[in-house]
Amino acid sequence: MLHRRVDVTAALLLMLLLAQAPHTTDGLKCYICNNCRKFELSQSRTCPPEQDKCMKMDMETGQVQRNCGTETMCNNSDREMRTRYTSVNCCSEDNCNKAATAASPLLSAALLLPLHVLFVRCQFSA
């Protein structure tokens, strides 16, 4: 009986992880914005197939650029882009170059807590 409960818990954890995995069947989607100060001015667009990174570049003026990029652009960002930008960040999930938010980690914690409780109950009920 304990083995069956552990299998159910493992299946639930796997489903949660798959639900949070990035989905890029149509190509990576990134926010695109040039010389903008407000995130609302950005628009999400599908990147060309050769561009597999989303980039967010902060300028000294407080403006931000968001765009699609490549691994090469991200690797060279420290040398070539530091003269124009105070920071360059690259990521590879859909719309990951958005403004920072605490909602995503909180949502993950809220979803994992009930699964953890279920797992602990299964462990101690045997």
Single pTM value for the model: 0.57
The tens-digit pLDDT sequence of the chain (126 residues) is: 555 555 656 654 555 455 555 544 579 999 998 887 666 667 899 999 999 999 999 988 888 899 999 998 888 765 666 677 888 899 999 999 987 654 555 555 666 667 666 666 766 666
Domains of the chain, CATH where assigned: 2-124 (2.10.60.10)
pLDDT of residue 85: 84
Within 8 A by CB and 6+ apart from 107, the residues are none
Which residues are paired to 68 by β-bridges?
Answer: 54
